[in-house]
Structure 1
Amino acid sequence: MRILLSLVGVLALLPVPANNAPANSAPANNEPGLAYVVTKGDGVVRVVGEGRDSNGDPVGPDTPMRVASVSKSFTAAAVLTLVDEGRVALDRPVVSYLPEFRMADPRAAAITVRQLLNQTSGLSDRTVDIDATQEAPDLAGYVAALRTGRLARTPGTDGEYCNVNYDVAARLVEVVDGRPFAEAMRGRIFGPLGMTHSTVGDTPANGYNSVFGVWVERRELPAFRGGAGGVVTTAADMGRWLISQTGHGPRIVSAAGLREMHTPGPAAGTYAMGWGVEHADGRTLLVHSGNLFTYTAVEAIDPATGEGWAVMTNSASPVDRTYDQLLALAGGREPELNWRPGTLETALGVIALLALGLGVLGVLRARRWQGRTWRLLPLLVPTVVLATCPLWMSVLIGRTVTWAQMTYFPVPLTITLAVAALAGLATAAARVLVRRSVGSAR
């Protein structure tokens, strides 16, 4: 019960006031910002910003936003620059460059650089201590936190998406380059491409989560430093990045390196290096999406036509609409800015209201209940489901899900489970109290 009450306190979602907002600024509530860019060949066709950030400032081409897992393509490019320089070989073991990389599983010594980037290393959220890695003060500490972990499978035999691959790759870049990862990225990627508003590890303005269709400002969590999700960039800078990934503009990775980046490796399925191969609208696109606590992004390029697209938002909800918006851009259409709640959120809202109503009814009718005590057990099922929510969510999606994540973009689901649990507990408690009072009266 104590855990449940604590969770309900978190779910109150106390909105964070917009800091330093100008007195005459339009309210940012209920209208998160969105920015997108379209490129072709060596030029930017269009770069647009709409809405406002949590400070009340208009979102524009140079508004910093987290791009979450889109960062993986940048990290892969940084590794490929080292490959081009002859300082790293893709098929050599990671430990030959990163002796500190040790695990409780001896098979880890065979993991190659290519397998990290193709996500075929055998590393898995299910077999390493993710909490310990998140508490590490830097990338060296992150790698050290892996020492108690094991592999889910033999390296190179199958693919599994795991952020650990790219955070280890970031540490490899640090060690081989000789500079902290953020500085190495600035020197190898951002600087040469003119991405002057891009960084690794910075914390942008607060973002938004949809709570049954109401956009609530949320405090953005501390900076991500690693290669799996640490990049903060802008729509204008993303245009420069997309141009380079189609082989135009300033060259940071050789043509051979780009081919390596864009080609799925053995056992990797459709995953290349920081890019996934997808077929949409008759095209073969290279795509990668990203979602963190309050930011969502997606990028894509069409190597055949030299076109590129990216969509970035300072919001996150249970259903990501950015991919549909990107496909609209790829089809020459304007992205649909639809901030209304989706079917899933509407359904969850209806279920929450129904559970609340049944809970009230159950308490009011407790005196009429004549069942045996063991028949109260089904009322406790929602509490068990809520208490184990991160566990079964992790199983369903194949990646570790934390309580913190459950109180951000999936919060409508968490609220619905909490309401159902409270309704069941209240009904059960009322029936037990009534039975005791009746027994005492006798």
Structure 2
Amino acid sequence: MSDVALVEFVETTASKFGIPGAAVGVWVDGREVFATHGVTSVANPVPVDRDTMFVLGSVSKSFTATALMRLVAEGKVELDAPVRRYVPELVLADERAAAEMTVLNLLNHTAGLGIRLIIETGDGDDALAQYVARLPELEQIAPVGARASYSQAGYNLLGRVIEKVTGLTFEKAVAQLVLDPIGLSHSRYAPAEVMTHRFAVGHNLGEDGTLAVAREWKDTRANNPGGGIASSVADQLRWARFHLGDGRTESGARVLPTGMLDRMKEQTVELQGSSLGDAFGICWFLRDVDGVRFVGHGGSSNGQFAELLTVPERNFAITVMSNAGPDDGIQFNQAVVRWALEHYLGVIDRDPEPLPFDAARAEEIVGDYEIDVMTLIIGTDDAGLTVACGIKPEVRAASEIELPPDLPAAGLGLLPDDQYIVISGGLQGQRGFFTRDERGKIVGADLAGRMFGRVQQA
């Protein structure tokens, strides 16, 4: 495969989706291939290069998990130990959950915690401690260990575990445990450190339909463990190579035992009907396509999107970063990943075909679904089922930080076994499933690993 082909595809696809700036890196056949496009900001345009730092959103969780696993390897943390061993002050809305929750439950999203708290606890070194003190405000959506449900709050709590064990701030601990040993010089959390390098800003559609700079560049400091790192495409390929390797750095220094890296890629809990994966390992989403195992994680921030995918058996990795809002950024990233998989590995990743529209099934699922901060509204139009996803108005109104825009209604297609797929719009290709109670009534809808409970009509 010609390197020029990747460059041309990225350029064409970025132009098609109106992406201001993007960076793509591929590790294949023992070599790196890069393609960059556009500018860091429409308001202050600087060309994107392989060292441009993008906000990675939830890809950040892979750094938190790896740092934690190094502490496990050093005998300072036990995966099956209760979180309270390390954070004895932990209080949750559910006392039983607070007592039973283990470190592994946080790592593989089986703690039953709600998705996140939209709060601001400042930029001081106590930001995580203050965040944890507010966790009693978070909904407990399921008993500990009952199911997987993706939680930003859970990873922020892991960040506090790291602080308590190391005696360092989370950011300094991660730098010492993984960033510096692996040589990730363009991967940092603090804006003051990032601003000395070239960095991208996010963009969302304004009211006039044109892209405007997202003024909230990244999430709060307390959300650094779950989604706050900024990194370059070159650093992300180095990070991917580390996870494809034996736990040593390129200079031969040992960071993690090989078995510890392998364990992170082993299934710990199954996921149903999710386009993100078939299972969680330790942090990583795991998915099989045509008999080939994918290991990776995606991430979103305010107007920026990132994807990191590895294929261990092929010693292959791809990372994609873009700085446009959800209607375009997600689709661009997905198109580039799928093109690379097909052209470099011969693996074709297709969305399943939805079933023909069934009015009776549609009537059964139409309604509002919610988690603590967001809603899914499933309805119908002349073309069939629709789904809209957005932040609750009261949450948006009370937020002290700028939040990403809501996603307008898009097409929804049903699949067998109470599963579904979004067939248009910014979430195109995202899959989920409906949960029924003991009477067979639909009471929840999962999307992106999160269960939205059905709102009962008065």
CA distance in 2, matches of 1:413, 1:119: 28
Match of 1:239 among 224, 233, 237: 237
Deviations 1:96-148 (A, max 9, x none): 011121113122111000010000001113xx7x234x445511111011134
Partner of 1:33: 21
Out of 164, 172, 183, the position equivalent to 2:172 is: 183
Shift of 1:95: 0.5
1:16-42 per-residue CA deviation (whole Å, 9 max, x = no partner) reads: xxxxxxxxxxxxxx651110111147x
Corresponding residue for residue 301 of structure 1: 310
| Corresponding position of 2:362 | none
Give the direction of change, closer, same or farther, for the CA distance of 1:411–1:114 in structure 2 (3 Å limit).
closer
Is residue 2:166 matched to residue 1:206?
Answer: no
Percent of paired sites with the same residue: 29
For 1:145 and 1:326, the matched residues in 2 are separated by 38
One-letter amino acid of the counterpart of residue 37, structure 1: G
Instruction: Output aligned runs, 1:151-190, within 5 Å.
Output: 151-190=140-179
Task: Determine if contact 1:37/1:239 at 8 Å carries over to the other structure.
Answer: yes
Deviation at 1:189, TM superposition (A): 1.2
Out of 32, 41, 45, which is 1:45 matched to? 32
In the TM superposition, what whole-angstrom CA distance separates every residue of 1:253-277 from its partner, at most 9, and x where no partner exists? 2222112211221466611222111
The one-letter amino acid paired with 1:327 is R
Q: Distance between the aligned counterparts of 1:252 and 1:154, measured in 2?
A: 35
Is the Cα–Cα contact under 8 Å of residues 219 and 227 in structure 2 kept in the other structure? no
Choose from 383, 388, 393 the match for 2:376: 393
Aligned: 1:119 with 2:109: yes
- Please give the alpha-carbon distance, in whole angstroms, between the structure 2 residues aligned to 1:311 and 1:59: 13
Question: Gaps (5+ residues) in structure 1?
Answer: 1-29, 335-384, 415-442
Distance 1:161 1:139, change over 3 A: same
State the Cα deviation string for residues 382-409 of structure 1 (Å, max 9, x = none).
xxx9xxxx75338989996553799735
Structure 1 residues 135 and 411: alpha-carbon distance in aligned structure 2, compared to 1, 3 A threshold: farther
The structure 2 residue matched to 1:254, chosen from 252, 257, 264, is 257
> Residue type matched to 1:194 in 2?
G
Conserved? CA contact 2:219–2:301, under 8 Å: no
TM-score (norm 2): 0.65
Q: Separation in 2 of the partners of 1:95 and 1:236?
A: 38
* Compared CA separation, residues 40 and 282, structure 1 to 2 (3 A): same
The alignment partner of 1:245 has SS state of: helix
CA distance, structure 1, for counterparts of residue 165 and residue 319 of structure 2: 30
The residue aligned with 1:324 is: 335
Higher helix share: 1
Of 317-326 and 213-222, deviating more is 213-222
Flag the structure with larger Rg. 1
Q: Which amino acid aligns with 2:72?
A: V
Q: What TM-score do the two structures reach when normalised by structure 1?
A: 0.67
Quick one: distance in 1 between partners of 2:104 and 2:74?
Answer: 16
Q: Using a 3 Å threshold, how does the CA distance of structure 1 residues 398 and 189 change in structure 2: closer, same or farther? A: farther
CA distance in 2, matches of 1:400, 1:156: 27
Contact 1:317 1:410 in 2 (8 A): no
Considering only aligned residues, what root-mean-square deviation do their CA atoms show, in Å? 3.2
Q: Cα distance, 1:332 vs. partner?
A: 2.6
Q: Distance in 2 between matches of 1:71 and 1:57?
A: 25
d(CA) in 1 for partners of 2:260, 2:405: 36
How far apart, CA to CA, are the structure 2 residues paired with 1:103 and 1:295? 32
Aligned in 2, Cα 1:298/1:110: closer, same or farther, shift over 3 Å? same
- State the secondary structure of the residue aligned to 2:158: helix
Is the partner of 2:72 in helix, strand or coil? Answer: helix
Given that 2:148 and 2:270 are in contact with CA atoms closer than 8 Å, whether structure 1 keeps it comes out as yes
In structure 2, how many angstroms separate the alpha carbons of the residues matched to 1:181 and 1:235? 23
Residue in structure 2 matched with residue 76 of structure 1 by the alignment: 65
Alpha carbons 1:44, 1:239 under 8 Å: kept: no
After superposition, the C-alpha distances for 1:288-346 in whole angstroms (9 at most, x for unaligned) are: 11111111000111111111111011222235121221121222369xxxxxxxxxxxx
Whether contact under 8 Å (1:105, 1:149) holds in the other structure is no
**Is the strand fraction higher in 1 or 2?**
2
Structure 1 CA distance for aligned equivalents of residues 152 and 303 of structure 2: 18
Q: Quick check: 1:34–1:312 contact (8 Å CA) kept in 2?
A: yes
Is 1:280 the counterpart of 2:289 in the alignment?
A: yes
One-letter amino acid of the counterpart of residue 220, structure 1: E
Amino acid in the other structure paired with 1:64: M
TM-aligned CA deviation for residue 412 of structure 1: 5.7
Counterpart check, 1:408 vs 2:404? yes
* One-letter code aligned to 1:207: G
State the one-letter code of the partner of 1:294.
G
Checking the alignment, whether the CA contact within 8 Å between 1:286 and 1:300 is kept in structure 2 is yes
Task: Tell me how far 1:153 sits from its aligned partner.
Answer: 1.8
Counterpart in 2 of 1:218? 214
User: Counterpart amino acid of 1:120?
Assistant: T
> What is the count of residue pairs matched by the alignment?
329
Show structure 2 runs of 5+ residues with no match.
1-17, 272-277, 346-367, 379-386, 411-458
Q: Is the 8 A contact 2:390 2:407 kept in 1?
A: no
* 1:190 Cα deviation from its structure 2 partner: 1.0
